Structures are given as C-alpha cells and as structure tokens.
Amino acid sequence: MRTLRSRVGFTLIELLVVIAIIAILAAILFPVFAQAREQARKASCQSNLKQLSLAVGMYRQDYDETYPFGGWRPNADGTWDWQNTVAPYIKNKGVYRCPSTQDLDENPTNPQEWAWNRNPVSYMYNNMLGWNRTPMVDAAVRAPADCVMLSDGHSDWGCANTSDCIGVDWMGRPKTVWLYEDTFFGRNAILLTGWGDHTWGLPRHQNGGNFAFADGHVKYYKILRDDIKTRDQYGTTAAGRRGMEGVLPWLKNGDPQQGGSWGTGADQKWDNGDGNNP
C-alpha cells in the first residue's frame, strides 16, 4: 500500500524571516570585519615604523650617534633627507608605505610624476631632530622614550613639482617623488591629523596614528575627535593642535630637548597649520 509523503519546503513568510535574520547579522558583522581588517593594517603599519626606527638607529651608529637630516633643505636638495639616507639599511620600498594610506604610490613608469596626493613615503620625520639644518646628536635628546621621531602623516612639500626637485633618490634616480620633504615641518599638526574631512586619508587608523619614538618603541594614539567632520569644524576648534596637545604635547613629545629647541610660550605647542591657534 503506497503512503502519501508530505512535501518539505519553506513558505514565503519563512523565507522572508531567514533573509531578515541574515541581513541583521550582516549589518552587525560587516563593521566588525572592517574593524578587524583595519586592526591588521594598523599592526602592519606599526611593523613598518619599527623597521624604520631600527634603520634610523643603525644610521646613528654609523654616523657618530647623529640623527639623519630632515627638512629645511638647502637648495631644495632632497638627496640627504631621512627617507633616502636610511634606505640602505632597509632596501625595501614597501616598508615606507602604510597599508591604510590613501596617497598614490609613485608612478612605476614615471617616478617624477607629481600630484598633491602622491607620495610613496607614508611617514613623517620629526625635523626638530635636524633643526637649523644641523642633525642632532643622540645625547642631546633629553627623553628618548618621550620624543616622537616618526609618525603616520602626509607631505607633498619640498618642491612645487618634481621638475623643481634637486638631487637623486636612494635608487639613484633624479627628480623623483622620493625627494619630498617628508617631515612635519616643525609643529604642523595638519600633516598628522588631516583637515578633519579625511584630507589625505588622515588620521589613517580609526582617527588615530602610529608613532615611533627616539628610543625605538612604537605606539598608537587617537589624535582627532570623532565629531570633527569638516574643515570648518577643524579650523574653528583648532582640532588638530588640540588633539595632538591632548595626547602628545609638543613640549614633552615634539621638542627633543623639551624646551630647548624651539621658542617660548605659544611656540611650544603644536600649531594648526595656520599659525598659533588659541
């Protein structure tokens, strides 16, 4: 005797419920996955900075405990800027590039091609370590564990475009984008925090950046408030300067001599890129 078997299947309501559950789970998990990916990129960036700080340390050992030159270049010659002079200790272009950067890399067919958002170097050097075109000796850094040496940042400065650049990069090529002044220009917070509307993709890591210190350690700091979304908000609140002063005050962490390198009063604080903001 043949028995009747009921058909197994889903009703339309059941399908809609399943789809709704999947959509809710995706909405919850996708941001978590994105944060996990950013955490991985942040860790890779910290590894880059660690390798660069070790390279600076080897450079110091070879050059009488003197830091590399960086910034305020005579005749706009970038040959001796830090990114080129420490390169023999690294010999890997990838170490200079943060995986979260939004800057364009060098054009492989034309490394002389300039753009406002093109720079193969994702990290800025504290040019107070070479203040007044005189690289500082290691013993002059008062508190190496406090002194920022390298950081996440952006620069397209040093020559109006690569046709005006002077010198050769560490690969022996003239007038390339490796000759920019990759420093934060004294106390300029903008080159580390951006303008507040993610200019140059800054800050790169969840409103924060990675910093390498003169003693070699690397640490992450949140340097811009989450509510700063526009240039107007950034400028009227001096958000970059205040953000940096709140976590890495210039006098303690920016000035290698903690008061002996640069000015007095307002000149001993980060600026917002347009002078001494209140």
Question: For 135-170, what is each residue's pLDDT tens digit?
Answer: 999 999 999 999 999 999 998 776 766 667 788 999
b vs e for 212-248, b when ≥16 Cβ sit within 10 Å of the residue's Cβ? bbbeeebebbebbbeebeeeeebbebbbbbbbbbeeb
Q: How confident is the model at residue 3 (pLDDT cuts 50, 70, 90)?
A: low
Mean per-residue pLDDT for 227-248? 89
Q: Which residue's structure tokens are 């303008």?
A: 195
Question: Is there a domain that residue 4 lies in?
Answer: no
Instruction: With a cut of 60, say whether residue 175 has pLDDT above it.
Output: yes
- Examine residue 74 and say whether the peptide bond preceding it is cis (omega within 30 degrees of 0): no
Q: How confident is the model at residue 222 (pLDDT cuts 50, 70, 90)?
A: very high
Question: Is there a domain that residue 77 lies in?
Answer: yes
Least confident of 55-59, 163-167, 216-220, 237-241: 163-167
Residue 95 structure tokens? 């170490």
Q: How confident is the model at residue 275 (pLDDT cuts 50, 70, 90)?
A: low
Based on the structure, what is the number of domains in the chain?
Answer: 1
Question: Is there a domain that residue 8 lies in?
Answer: no
Question: Is there a domain that residue 7 lies in?
Answer: no
Report the pLDDT value the prediction gives residue 154, as an integer from 0 to 100.
92
Question: Is there a domain that residue 5 lies in?
Answer: no
Question: Is there a domain that residue 188 lies in?
Answer: yes
Domain of 71, in residue numbers:
14-268
Question: Is there a domain that residue 234 lies in?
Answer: yes
> pTM for the full model?
0.86
Question: Is there a domain that residue 104 lies in?
Answer: yes
Report the pLDDT value the prediction gives residue 134, as an integer from 0 to 100.
84
Residue 222 structure tokens? 């949140």
